[in-house]
Structure 1
Amino acid sequence: MARKTLLFLALSISLTLSAQYYPTKSQWEGKSASQVGLKQSGIDDAVQFAMDHEYSGQKDLRLAILQSFSREPYHELQGPTKGRGGPAGMIIKDGFIVASWGDTKRVDMTFSVTKSYLSTTAGLAVDDGLISSVKDKVKDYVWDDTFEGEHNSKITWEHLLQQTSDWSGALFGLYDWADRPDREGKLDDWRYRELKEPGSSYKYNDVRVNVLSYSLLNVWRKPLPQVLKERIMDPIGASTTWRWYGYDNSWMTLDGQQMQVVSGGGHHGGGVFISTEDHARFGLLFARKGQWNNDQLISEEWTRMIQTSASAYESYGYMWWLNKGPRSWDGLPSHLYYAAGFGGNFIVVDEQNDLVIVTRWLEPSQIGEMVRKVYNAMD
């Protein structure tokens, strides 16, 4: 009798999960705000706010990048760029589109939102047992000189994911110390700085993110865009228009084949180029804790792990930002997490409310207010 009860409960849970709406590859249904329990006036206000607060930087992103990182020594573009479009976005509630604005099919650079896609390939490697634990030292998986030495040999996968490794070196001609150097000091101060114990200090650094990408390619032994496409993007019905680029010189030979190490952002060009709609599908996958229809594409455990705050910086998880600590948005729940990129690119995920917000080319300082307006529509 007890066994029958358990089977009934399992079936009930399965039916409840499958009852959730998911878009098909060819169709994504919309509902009015009121149909999903939101105030239409509040959603309209949030959309208008996003459209009225366009990113103030250049639409020629080559210029925007070079101007923004001009103080970095030796900074140059090494990967492709693309001129951007105007403001665009989507609000997804209970799987349905309740608002969209701008050209949601346009493919644009997404800069450091790429890091959350990169993190996903790490999660898949953990799920598959290619990485036994994020606490493992990377040197045990990547046996060239990338992680040699007293300092670099201590670095774990978690340190790389949380940007607390203080990895020291150069990759593809880019030096770790030249990426976002301290405001104080000069070149020699940055070059010969005292290294910090892995895990003890947070530093946003694209060179070290690319070290993670390089390390994951060594583990997967096939291109990361292929992993992402086969395991995530195709199953969620993403378009075929997205691309993931590295640099002109970020090629390596693995198993007799040339493969590109893709970049974790657009700091030097490259990264993920993608549409708003494909971002929204990706966000919905995480809002549903890795499940798409009846398939667990990435483990629910990983969707919890990415929300693990770095001990050195509460606002950062596994290449997702957390609404906690010094970077939190006032008046919004702490369970929110989000991907963020240069120029005002965001994917905001709320598992508890089954809500996803995607914005493109929003003035970055205005994201908190825009999201607050969406939450005001819940009152």
Structure 2
Amino acid sequence: MPDFHEAIAFSQAHEVPWPRDPQADPARWGVHHDDPAPYNRLRGPVHVRGGVSGVVLRGGQEAAAWGEPDRSDQTFSVAKTYLALLAGVAHARGLIPDVQQRVGETLPGIGFDGPHNGQVRWVHLLEQTSEWQGSCFGLPDTVEHNRRVAHDPKPPQGKKGEPRQLQAPGSYWEYNDVRINQFALALLHLFRRPLPEVFEESILRPLGGGAGFRWEGYDDAWTEIGGLRLQSVPGGTHWGGGVRISARDQARVAQLLLADGVHRGERLLPAGWVERMRTPCAIAPFYGWLTWLNRDGHLFADASRESWFMVGAGGHYVWIDPAHDAVVVVRWLDPARAPGFVSRVARAVVG
């Protein structure tokens, strides 16, 4: 069995420089501070976090664990990938028969109508190429215009939050949490049930997980569907809320993707869905369906080129490595030190 002690010690020595209690030093916790006023404030709950934790699976078996792997903590944009899994569940149930279908054809009246937004297809939402325009629960898409994220090789055109000229849906890639939240709202209307319930029922429980799992929405993100008042959830913790989950459950989800959506002989995701999630977007080849790819080694030079990742602010990384039949989860790692951690794990795996 590979020796991961060096990688574990490295991660524990380089915790993200955020306070563990968001209330202790609010100015150093989270990512909402970078938004233009009045959108630079929290809109949903945040929680005291744990320290650096992680899990490594090899061949589906736990090879290493450290920190508090069963602690349920917020995981920021790792939740975006969970929306892609829910879209797969919707596809399996016939709710999204074709990802090339325009969203407004199925869900009129929720923001996907008109000359521009009416051209948005499900695949655009999955690739972050929708260029959707509007406000989702009081947050305008423009607050995320020109956003720069660490793994995006494309420089922004201007200052964050400065409106730019929109392109045709499908023709421009931009990491945009407001559009992701609009995607989550669309999925809520499809399922007509709270997304946390669907995710736990369709993914986590069949995997043997779910202890401590929560998916929280913004305080004012409520809508009525079929006479029921339902809370829509965000695809991250940018403005608070989002997914709370343990490292072991994150590893369970990643192992499901490594196994092409099948767990113990049961297909939880439709055939071909996982392969499409890790296929490069034509105009952003570093990205798949709400996942980060490493095809050219740009993301992490020492990870295999088959590797793909779920990534969240605050130092959350879920690494799926088909080349070595491995899954690696690390939480609350200083992002500046992530390459060093990946290098040490890669050396241990190769042996």
TM-score (norm 1): 0.85
Partner-residue secondary structure (3-state), 2:206? coil
Partner-residue secondary structure (3-state), 1:214? helix
Give the superposed CA RMSD.
1.9
CA contact (8 A) 1:346 1:358 kept: yes
**Change over 3 Å in CA distance of 1:236–1:207 after alignment to 2:** same
What does residue 80 of structure 1 align with? Answer: 45
Alpha-carbon offset, residue 54 of structure 1 = 0.9
The amino acid of 2:93's aligned partner reads D
**Change over 3 Å in CA distance of 1:67–1:219 after alignment to 2:** closer
Aligned mates of 2:69, 2:55 — CA distance in 1: 8
What does residue 47 of structure 1 align with? Answer: 8
1:1-379 pair list within 5 angstroms: 33=1, 38=2, 40=3, 43-61=4-22, 63=26, 64-65=28-29, 69-75=33-39, 76-179=41-144, 181=146, 190-191=162-163, 193-324=164-295, 327-377=298-348, 378-379=350-351
**Change over 3 Å in CA distance of 1:250–1:68 after alignment to 2:** closer
Aligned mates of 1:240, 1:47 — CA distance in 2: 24
Aligned mates of 2:67, 2:159 — CA distance in 1: 43
Alpha-carbon offset, residue 185 of structure 1 = 5.3
The amino acid of 1:125's aligned partner reads A
* Paired residue total: 338
Q: 1:180-207: per-residue Cα shift (whole Å, max 9, x none)?
A: 54577579x834x311111221111110
Aligned mates of 1:215, 1:318 — CA distance in 2: 16
CA contact (8 A) 2:297 2:305 kept: no
Q: 1:272-304: per-residue Cα shift (whole Å, max 9, x none)?
A: 001111111111111111111111111241110
Alpha-carbon offset, residue 65 of structure 1 = 4.4
CA contact (8 A) 1:137 1:157 kept: yes
The amino acid of 2:126's aligned partner reads L
**Change over 3 Å in CA distance of 1:278–1:375 after alignment to 2:** same
Q: 1:229-252: per-residue Cα shift (whole Å, max 9, x none)?
A: 111111100033110011111111
What does residue 6 of structure 1 align with? Answer: none
The amino acid of 1:57's aligned partner reads W
CA contact (8 A) 2:145 2:162 kept: no
The amino acid of 1:344's aligned partner reads G
What does residue 150 of structure 2 align with? Answer: none
Aligned mates of 1:219, 1:44 — CA distance in 2: 45
| Structure 1 residue ranges without an equivalent (≥5) | 1-32
Aligned mates of 2:55, 2:332 — CA distance in 1: 13
The amino acid of 1:267's aligned partner reads H
| Structure 2 residue ranges without an equivalent (≥5) | 148-155
CA contact (8 A) 1:288 1:351 kept: no
Q: 1:56-88: per-residue Cα shift (whole Å, max 9, x none)?
A: 123233624466533423222111111211100
Aligned mates of 1:70, 1:302 — CA distance in 2: 34
Identical residues among aligned pairs (%): 35
The amino acid of 2:213's aligned partner reads W
The amino acid of 2:264's aligned partner reads N
Aligned mates of 2:32, 2:134 — CA distance in 1: 23
Aligned mates of 1:222, 1:88 — CA distance in 2: 32
Aligned mates of 1:67, 1:215 — CA distance in 2: 25
Partner-residue secondary structure (3-state), 1:247? coil
CA contact (8 A) 1:313 1:325 kept: no
Aligned mates of 2:317, 2:6 — CA distance in 1: 18
Aligned mates of 2:82, 2:35 — CA distance in 1: 28
**Change over 3 Å in CA distance of 1:44–1:230 after alignment to 2:** same
